[in-house]
Structure 1
């Protein structure tokens, strides 16, 4: 009898300890969640983060806020999340140009895309749109190429920063058309668009969400989109194939990552909440209207995808001979 009593007592104590531990740990989430955007407000990364915050707040029961940490070609924002406590409260809305480009551009980026991050969910994809300021003496991509060949180095193009996908896109365009353009880097798409509108730069190859409203308002001129089909948000803008440069195809993607070591159940909860938000009709429409598309992936699928993209962009960057160190 005594043995049974002691056994029962030990079991009870163990259960109490486990319950106490569970209470101490609490149920995720218990406080606000911060989405770190490694670029300035106004670009597609920022748009993607804000696309789902309201829905995530409702789904998770805690405020989900966006914090922009621009600088060092995205490395500051990425480092912030890589070094954050892996508890699901500090997350990265990653831009592909940074996430799989920077590791090949910097010898010491301060973070590793595979070792330092836990993949959570894919969010959006976007082709690029070749857009110019109004007032230049051409209206088509072919005319731009002809003008650039006749005036080497006279046209300049903006990017979100050295080594960004816009920078790489400009280098690819030059390689494929035999032209010479001058690169002007900015800290994010927002500042680049402002200077394009102000006439300080001539050309920007960027995601549609950054410029679609200005294109529709006639403040900027779109020459082509780098997708196989025209965009519903810009139905009058030809594809690069239609514009005479069929090999110039590329897109960007935006995904959610947590610090490495974040508990699997927290990652899964976030993945389910993001995927649920991305499949809502109004969210999909807002994405489509901006020139992007939502895409659902499991954490495992995003992990595999990230590794493949890391290898692909490594080859592209090496061929373009772009380094930032």
Structure 2
């Protein structure tokens, strides 16, 4: 016969479980009761900011409360991520994060957050391949021509990035390792300054997502020579993908942009958020906007995003270690 103590313990545990279920159901029923903040880890105008603004208005309409975008750039994504990490896990402060900041930067510098333990995945929004661009005054129109030029003119080419450990940085190192070139890395404090110096003639090339490049490509100020991956961009239909270029098929580097909540955010709240985001992403308006900016709408459930984040974190961690990439 069970002791009175064990029976009381069982009854207490059942009561706690019932209370948690009740709290979760109540949270789902009443959430949201006020404005929600989407904390963006980059400055306005970039792809991370674009991703946040693509969902802010429709999500506000769906939930019946304001959804406000707040840009917190700096620290290679650490300022925004740390703010959301410390926020109350109640669904009112969310992080819209760029993959390079989330799964690469923590391997290179002391970012102050753990991308796996400190956040609850909500949904992935868009995926954007990298576009290789060079100054139009260079005699380079294809990726093989870039490699040939780099080998024929050692020390003459530099590539700009948004910082040490950024996706542009690791893309450049992937290209060097794959092709046997030694194109020098010039880090900047963000994609904006990098592109400004590229346009000013201080560096020869860069690779980043399409949104900040499209206007310059269309005006002829920059020349696009390749898009990473195996899917052509509708916004750059005449630019070949690396999958179609012999010897560079594995140069598949894409950025992804996702929504995270603080760790321990109640599941009913996460389910409500991801459900509404999924509906928004299924609309033609969202898909069209993503394609116009050189990206693709790619929804992931919280479980899929958790698995994807973990896999990418491990993959890039190994690459950073093998390539000896540092924050110096």
**TM band (smaller chain):** 0.7 to 0.9
CA contact (8 A) 1:40 1:187 kept: no
Residue 236 of structure 1, CA deviation? 0.5
Residue 231 of structure 1, CA deviation? 1.8
User: What is the alpha-carbon distance in structure 1 between the residues aligned to residue 309 and residue 283 of structure 2?
Assistant: 25
Match of residue 227, structure 2, among 210, 225, 228: 225
Q: Superposed, which structure 2 residues align to 1:256-267 within 5 Å?
A: 256-267=259-270
Residue 154 (structure 1) aligns with: 156
Residue 114 (structure 1) aligns with: 116
User: What is the alpha-carbon distance in structure 1 between the residues aligned to residue 199 and residue 49 of structure 2?
Assistant: 19
Q: Superposed, which structure 2 residues align to 1:1-325 within 5 Å?
A: 27-106=30-109, 108-244=110-246, 245-324=248-327
Shift in alpha-carbon separation, 1:237–1:24, aligned structure 2, 3 A: closer
User: What is the alpha-carbon distance in structure 1 between the residues aligned to residue 192 and residue 40 of structure 2?
Assistant: 13
Residue 23 of structure 1, CA deviation? 9.1
User: What is the alpha-carbon distance in structure 2 between the residues aligned to residue 300 and residue 230 of structure 1?
Assistant: 28
Structure 1, unmatched stretches of 5+, are: 1-18
- Give the aligned length: 306
CA contact (8 A) 1:42 1:190 kept: no
* TM-score, scaled to structure 2: 0.87
Residue 241 of structure 1, CA deviation? 4.0
Residue 134 of structure 1, CA deviation? 2.4
CA contact (8 A) 2:28 2:269 kept: no
Q: C-alpha offsets along residues 76-127 of structure 1, whole Å, 9 cap, x if unaligned?
A: 2211111112111111111111111123223x32111111000000111111
User: What is the alpha-carbon distance in structure 2 between the residues aligned to residue 155 and residue 40 of structure 1?
Assistant: 28
User: What is the alpha-carbon distance in structure 2 between the residues aligned to residue 185 and residue 278 of structure 1?
Assistant: 34
Shift in alpha-carbon separation, 1:310–1:193, aligned structure 2, 3 A: same
Moved over 6 A (4+): 22-26
* TM-score, scaled to structure 1: 0.87
User: What is the alpha-carbon distance in structure 2 between the residues aligned to residue 71 and residue 306 of structure 1?
Assistant: 21
Q: C-alpha offsets along residues 278-324 of structure 1, whole Å, 9 cap, x if unaligned?
A: 11101101101212111122211111121111111112211211122
The CA RMSD measured in Å over matched residues stands at 2.3
Structure 2, unmatched stretches of 5+, are: 1-21
Shift in alpha-carbon separation, 1:279–1:182, aligned structure 2, 3 A: same
